[in-house]
Amino acid sequence: MADVNKVVLAYSGGLDTSVILKWLQETYGCEVVTFTADLGQGEEVEPARAKAQKLGVKEIYIEDLREEFVRDFVFPMFRANAIYEGEYLLGTSIARPLIAKRLVEIANQTGADAVSHGATGKGNDQVRFELGAYALKPGIQVIAPWREWDLTSRERLLAYAEQHGIPIERHGHTSPYSMDANLLHISYEGGILEDPWAEAEESMWRWSVSPEQAPDAPTYVELTFACGDVVAIDGEAMSPAAVLAKLNALGGANGIGRLDIVENRYVGMKSRGCYETPGGTILMKAHRAIESITLDREAAHLKDELMPRYASLIYNGYWWSPERRMLQAMIDASQTSVNGVVRLKLYKGGISVAGRKSDDSLFDASIATFEDDAGAYDQKDAAGFIKLNALRLRIAAARGRKA
Amino acid sequence: MADVNKVVLAYSGGLDTSVILKWLQETYGCEVVTFTADLGQGEEVEPARAKAQKLGVKEIYIEDLREEFVRDFVFPMFRANAIYEGEYLLGTSIARPLIAKRLVEIANQTGADAVSHGATGKGNDQVRFELGAYALKPGIQVIAPWREWDLTSRERLLAYAEQHGIPIERHGHTSPYSMDANLLHISYEGGILEDPWAEAEESMWRWSVSPEQAPDAPTYVELTFACGDVVAIDGEAMSPAAVLAKLNALGGANGIGRLDIVENRYVGMKSRGCYETPGGTILMKAHRAIESITLDREAAHLKDELMPRYASLIYNGYWWSPERRMLQAMIDASQTSVNGVVRLKLYKGGISVAGRKSDDSLFDASIATFEDDAGAYDQKDAAGFIKLNALRLRIAAARGRKA
Amino acid sequence: MADVNKVVLAYSGGLDTSVILKWLQETYGCEVVTFTADLGQGEEVEPARAKAQKLGVKEIYIEDLREEFVRDFVFPMFRANAIYEGEYLLGTSIARPLIAKRLVEIANQTGADAVSHGATGKGNDQVRFELGAYALKPGIQVIAPWREWDLTSRERLLAYAEQHGIPIERHGHTSPYSMDANLLHISYEGGILEDPWAEAEESMWRWSVSPEQAPDAPTYVELTFACGDVVAIDGEAMSPAAVLAKLNALGGANGIGRLDIVENRYVGMKSRGCYETPGGTILMKAHRAIESITLDREAAHLKDELMPRYASLIYNGYWWSPERRMLQAMIDASQTSVNGVVRLKLYKGGISVAGRKSDDSLFDASIATFEDDAGAYDQKDAAGFIKLNALRLRIAAARGRKA
Amino acid sequence: MADVNKVVLAYSGGLDTSVILKWLQETYGCEVVTFTADLGQGEEVEPARAKAQKLGVKEIYIEDLREEFVRDFVFPMFRANAIYEGEYLLGTSIARPLIAKRLVEIANQTGADAVSHGATGKGNDQVRFELGAYALKPGIQVIAPWREWDLTSRERLLAYAEQHGIPIERHGHTSPYSMDANLLHISYEGGILEDPWAEAEESMWRWSVSPEQAPDAPTYVELTFACGDVVAIDGEAMSPAAVLAKLNALGGANGIGRLDIVENRYVGMKSRGCYETPGGTILMKAHRAIESITLDREAAHLKDELMPRYASLIYNGYWWSPERRMLQAMIDASQTSVNGVVRLKLYKGGISVAGRKSDDSLFDASIATFEDDAGAYDQKDAAGFIKLNALRLRIAAARGRKA
């Protein structure tokens, strides 16, 4: 076992991380610094202070990171239209690098030699936390209690808690699911979801009404983009976090953003997950729409071809890596012209684009028109275009090659 | 002007291609062979016979190609999860290579030295028809009247028709839009759509009810896959065309598959298009779902990374090309295990996956579980996994590199 | 024929472009501005002045662009390790965007409404010139005489020259080959090279001795890199053009940089080309060597995977495009740490790396060593690394999948 | 420690694997089956029998796998033009999957429940052996003594050998380098190579003369390809292994195939390696040359873009994976037309292509020619080709976008 003097723990204030807090003190005989962040998960973070104090913690960090989260992580990711495996909007993945960064910064500030987290040994989050921590502070020690201890069942964990006087709250929203939430999404795993043939229960979902329960009339909304990011909703300028919060409210009310998938974890297994990403789902649709009129074709295609790789990097925990930064440089270089307004219709789980306009639009009605275009485009050029594009195919066919 | 003896014309029986027919006879002094295919566009093809006869055509080909279309073109494309520019399901694009193939085959049968089509000089279809024709018969001549003649406005076209006794039907469904339909989709361009800020009118859509008009209760459906293709619906075995027709009916009734986008044409301009692809939209969702439990992670990611390129090939007209065939070989090699059943919920424009199961499933609940897994997975392995994946990042950070 | 008042001609002073000059004056009745650039082709550019004057040209631009050429075009390209089709170092391709840029700038300065060049209608250079010109000045007219006139044989061209008093120099180095040269390379096409089975004659090559004639003793050279570019040779700081000139001398003397290939042109046909790129060949080897110790693995792999696409963009004439700039942003973002010294051995056509060192080296002998590493790397971590990487394969095999 | 009854050991007969053999017997108390393969490493394999017998082994497998190695592993890899990190021909990597396959097959035959190998915990070979073994037999146990035991220095190993009566041969070719050899290559690591600034000593190289010592006259050779593989040399039909042996002899005699690089290992560190791959280097050059006249442009480009990924898969040990098989299907689909003859000139370390010809050639001199082509290609088509390719760039420039 490593020699540890002080460890910074990503602390939610809940039972599991409270047990970890105690276990770290007992097992490593080290001081624990707690770090609790408001990333928009929808729960108070301040109560974590008293809990930590009660467990003897002297250095307690409680921070509102919502703006930084959306501005520096969520928005850059949406510029890429990042979707993992065709469906997942990376809601959990994108929060981890920010937490890793703050853990390391606090370790530097407090002179801690280790960080710790409450992610299990089977999931992706351990990888994301730890790759980030190692990339930012290569000599850091990482303690992952779930990979080390013998509290491998809920019973043992509860027993340990009771033994050590850690209060076990039995509040209303106890859930059969393992959940994670931040301003971008809430996720559900475990329970009956472990059977991929079983449909998720309506009662599971928390952030959105069902499409069935959504209003019978559509909602229209206009998003204003600057350099690929939403800067105003219905004409009202807003901060990044305010944008996402507002879109979550709009999406949730209209039954938008539910997803039920089986995904491939970086650690090698498939897992079933359900997600609610109301605002992100709207954002994605809108961003593609504004890009559709402002982005050059080949720029857009280059982005599309590299998107799956970019998404995998984030999913796998490589936000803090040279390859992610290289891709981001490429993506951001394309977004200076992604400005304008998108009008969307939200209705019972669906989003449709009702309009897009931009001073930077590359859409030219005079060229695309079915009517006479006054010479803007010479149709005869198309003959040469086709002929030369066909040349290699014709030569091959003339040699008897099967097309 | 080229010397042409006989030309095979892709003939719909409508006004435009009737004018073309006459124009070819007049301009080239050549014999015209007509080819009219039922690709599921929803209009009778048999009436084209009388019209062609009336215009003096002796060799008339009228064919039902629906099964071939779905089996050999639509299904292989869906194995790739092909989507152009993140949204378009390639409904028009995928029909063109089949028409090109039949045009060439009929040219070979009838001894024709040219083919002709009614696509304009600004669109993608001319490219698709002609690349296909050249790839399959390199010495073929292609006549694209819209690029050659001076009938450049609707008025002139009508005047020519009147002049030459071509009947101008003024039936009910005259539309302000340029439309194309086949079993996979119906498309709309032109008219008010040329303003990307203008929302499409409800009256434009033909194949689907609006989400608002769709039933208030969801519809559940089960699709059975074999080697990546749907072979049965709700347990009933069906032919490829029957599958797609059934899914169109289900989707259309539930307001599914409407799309409104601005896309980038191969010839260089942006254009606004609206599409209804009810069955295809369901098929895409279901195919991803069955792949999610049956396809290896890296196989799926490889497919995802190459998908945009594959989609562009089809969009741009390169179905009949060595690179498309190479990609198809790669894709098809992944589909032997894509077998099983997907259960979907259709509701007011939305599709959600309600379940997926397969004898070829790679989902292993015993490993992914949050409960004790009886040793199927050793969590301690994750520490080494992370450590070695982090090694390069740690070395770089230790050298002072910015992460 | 377009209405043209003034045209800027890329003018070499040779017979062909002199005929073009005259032909433009006669055919378009327009004023001609000449632009002659020293790109390191090894021929005097100043004589072009008198020739142009004699043909009545009033605005004559003669410029030494060697530094700009290497600094802003060659070096950025080599940061990408760009090679077209596995072999070609893009010597001709990379000069064209600079010429296009100057043509347009001169057109803007002189109020010209057109540009013209001497590239034929079968090659890539017409595409590179014209895409560049259109991208930089969308309303420009382009006159490509080889695609327009009827001087389609050497005889006719000579007859036209004689007729119009254009001097036909019959100097020593008349060549059976079509050649192009700049500081990066000299190329040969045509003549016996049109038979790909025929070996190039020794007498064809101009810039390098044959390996057989090269010195019997090796030459060692040290290149110093800063941010991916060579800034010094054998410790002596040099400008970009001086670096390339020096490497050409070293390479040429040692028989380095000859290449004989069949390549695929953008316009659709295969063509045989021979190239001498002495300095560039050294540069490529050295750049890979310095990257090998200073670049992160995934950064290097990302560059490698995108390199063929980047190379194709340059080959096809898309230097001035958003997608090239996006890729360049990505590549350049990786080069800040590509600093250090590479020592090379040059011998009879071959280059081997004799050493590489860098303050930014990521090579860590203490970790890679076969000897005891004092705990820098825990071999046991490898077991977990392998186990989790194997997990998906094991699950599949356990389900009976063929590996 | 796992419970093992019988283990199949990849046994070379040398000191290290003899110590492993003994250590397995002692540590696991299990029976050891030895497997020794002739992969063309240039050492007798039969002596391993007596050594194994002396150590009490009852089941001894000694096999000549050279033909299978070249036919089923080396040749398929060369169809892809696979090069890792721009330089490395994957000589070690490609042998591992065959050994893994035989280890597993022998385990199945002999009822063994484990396999073992002599690769260290820092290198790539452990990964390659073990991924292969797990992919082919998911329940197999893998014993990697170098990761488990405490014989972590040469001294301890020798002491163990002496203690257990394992003969320590002190023959002539003791080397300061860690070496690996098979019919494709021989590699060197360690010793002074751990300093990347140190030039490799001439005395290290074993398979090739130095370019300086190579003959003063060039050697010409003709290779005949069928479906991408060499089937004859100078007109003489040969088996795959005979082809590679012959090319090794030709290359080695002419100083061809030496390489000195720093590469990125999968386990995260950089390492210096020197390689001799005489035959493979010739094969690569020749394969590109025959492809240059027989392969379609886009097919070639698709291969080039995916090559780095394919090479990484092999380097990282994923031969036995669905993604490698998918890529192989794609590559092989392109090779049916890769037939013909390539003529090469070998001289003092260099290879140049002296000619290529094929009945499947797509090179068409009548089109590429600088002379009149009798209408095979209409230069005017190029104008339209360029115009439409430029359209998106022109529209963007007209909107004020920076090119």
Does the pLDDT value for residue D372 go beyond 70?
Answer: no
Chains touching chain D through at least 3 C-beta pairs below 8 angstroms are A, B, C
Q: State whether C385 and B380 contact (CB < 8 Å).
A: no
Residue B11, annotated ligand binder? yes
Feature table: binding site of A: 10-18, 37, 88, 93, 118, 120, 124-125, 128, 178, 187, 263, 275
> Based on the domain organization, do B35 and B152 belong to the same domain?
yes
pLDDT of the residue at C153: 84
Does the pLDDT value for residue A347 go beyond 70?
Answer: yes
**What is the DSSP annotation of B109-149?**
HHT-SEEE----TTSSHHHHHHHHHHHH-TT-EEE-HHHH-
Does the pLDDT value for residue D7 go beyond 90?
Answer: yes
Rounded to the nearest angstrom, the minimum Cα separation between A397 and chain B is 6
State the best of C84, C125, C370 to mutate against chain D, taking most chain D CBs within 10 Å: C370
Do C229 and C244 form a contact (C-beta atoms < 8 A)? no
- Nearest alpha carbon to residue D83 among D371, D311, D402: D311
C334 is catalytic: no
For residue C151, the domain's CATH number is 3.40.50.620
Q: How far is CA B398 from CA A140, A165, C212, D106, D271, in A?
A: 11, 41, 48, 45, 17
Note whether residue A271 is domain-resident: yes
> Based on the domain organization, do A218 and A124 belong to the same domain?
no
Angle between the N-to-C axes of helices B15-28 and B154-163, in degrees from 0 to 180, rounded to the nearest 10: 70
Q: Roughly how many angstroms between the first and final C-alpha of chain B, as a whole number?
A: 64
Q: Supply the pTM of this predicted model.
A: 0.97
Rounded to the nearest angstrom, the minimum Cα separation between D394 and chain C is 5
Domain endpoint, select from A139, A164, A189: A164
Q: Of B370-384, C288-302, C378-392, D312-326, where does mean pLDDT reach its minimum?
A: B370-384
State the best of B292, B307, B327 to mutate against chain A, taking most chain A CBs within 10 Å: B292
Note whether residue A250 is domain-resident: yes
> Based on the domain organization, do D133 and D206 belong to the same domain?
no
For D231-247, write each residue's pLDDT tens digit. Answer: 999 999 999 999 999 99
Label residue D397 by pLDDT band (50, 70, 90).
very high
> Based on the domain organization, do C132 and C250 belong to the same domain?
no
Which stretches of chain C sit within 8 Å of chain A by CB?
264, 267-269, 296, 298-299, 301-302, 318, 321-323, 325-327, 329-334, 388-392, 395
> Based on the domain organization, do B143 and B184 belong to the same domain?
no
One-letter amino acid of B322 = P
D16 is catalytic: yes
Q: State whether A385 and D385 contact (CB < 8 Å).
A: yes
For D125-152, write each residue's pLDDT tens digit. Answer: 999 999 999 999 999 999 999 999 999 8
pLDDT of the residue at D154: 85
Note whether residue A302 is domain-resident: no
Can you give the three-state secondary structure of C15-37, one letter per residue?
HHHHHHHHHHHHHHCCEEEEEEE
Chain C residues with CB-CB distance to D403 below 8 A: 135-136, 320-322
Chain C residues with CB-CB distance to A318 below 8 A: 298
Which is more confident, C353 or D402? C353
pLDDT of the residue at C320: 98
pLDDT of the residue at C171: 57
Which is more confident, D22 or D1? D22
Does the pLDDT value for residue C170 go beyond 70?
Answer: no
Instruction: State the Cα torsion A104-A106-A109-A112 to the nearest 10°.
Output: -70
Written as six digits, the tokens of C66 are: 């060697």
Cα angle B23-B27-B31, degrees, rounded to a multiple of 5: 80
Q: State whether D325 and B333 contact (CB < 8 Å).
A: yes
Q: Which residues neighbour C172 within 8 Å (Cβ) at sequence distance 6 or greater?
A: none
Of C49, C72, C178, C332, the catalytic one is: C178
Note whether residue C346 is domain-resident: yes
Q: In what order do the strands lie in the sheet with C114-116?
A: C60-64, C31-38, C6-10, C114-116, C141-143
Give the rounded percent of residues in chain A with a pLDDT score beyond 70. 97
Q: Which residues of chain B have pLDDT under 50?
A: none
> Based on the domain organization, do A204 and A347 belong to the same domain?
yes
Q: In what order do the strands lie in the sheet with B186-189?
A: B178-181, B186-189, B270-276, B258-264
- What is the number of other CB atoms lying within 10 angstroms of the CB of residue D366? 14
Does the pLDDT value for residue A107 go beyond 60?
Answer: yes
For C304-346, write each residue's pLDDT tens digit. Answer: 999 999 999 999 999 999 999 999 999 999 999 999 999 999 9
Written as six digits, the tokens of D212 are: 């300086």
pLDDT of the residue at A45: 95
For D208-230, write each residue's pLDDT tens digit. Answer: 999 999 999 999 999 999 999 99
Burial B183-216 (b: 16+ CB within 10 A, else e): bbbbbbbbbebbebbebbeeebbebbbebeebee
Note whether residue A75 is domain-resident: no
Do A106 and A8 form a contact (C-beta atoms < 8 A)? yes
Q: Structurally, how many domains does chain A consist of?
A: 2
For D65-75, write each residue's pLDDT tens digit. Answer: 999 999 999 99
B125 is catalytic: yes
For A73-88, write each residue's pLDDT tens digit. Answer: 999 999 999 999 999 9
> Please, what is the average pLDDT of chain D?
95
> Based on the domain organization, do C156 and C191 belong to the same domain?
no
For residue A201, the domain's CATH number is 3.90.1260.10
Written as six digits, the tokens of C184 are: 């990066």
pLDDT of the residue at B376: 74
A96 is catalytic: yes
Domain endpoint, select from C164, C195, C224: C164
> Based on the domain organization, do D222 and D274 belong to the same domain?
yes
pLDDT of the residue at A367: 83
The ipTM of this complex is 0.96
Chain C residues with CB-CB distance to A334 below 8 A: 322, 326
Note whether residue D322 is domain-resident: no
Residue C128, annotated ligand binder? yes
Domain of C237?
178-294+337-357
Alpha helices in B42-115 (DSSP H): 47-54, 66-69, 75-79, 96-110
Note whether residue A393 is domain-resident: no
Domain endpoint, select from D138, D164, D190: D164
> Based on the domain organization, do B158 and B112 belong to the same domain?
yes
Which is more confident, D368 or D378? D378
The H-or-E segment that residue C301 falls in is helix C297-316
Note whether residue A188 is domain-resident: yes
**Bridge-partner residues for C62, per DSSP?**
C36
Q: How far is CA B251 from CA A260, A352, B6, B207, B346, in A?
A: 20, 16, 43, 9, 8
> Please, what is the average pLDDT of chain C?
95
Label residue A327 by pLDDT band (50, 70, 90).
very high
Q: Which residues neighbour C402 within 8 Å (Cβ) at sequence distance 6 or greater?
A: none
> Based on the domain organization, do B201 and B248 belong to the same domain?
yes
pLDDT of the residue at A175: 80
- Nearest alpha carbon to residue B351 among D264, A111, C199, A350: A350
> Based on the domain organization, do C258 and C284 belong to the same domain?
yes
> Based on the domain organization, do A197 and A344 belong to the same domain?
yes
Label residue A167 by pLDDT band (50, 70, 90).
confident
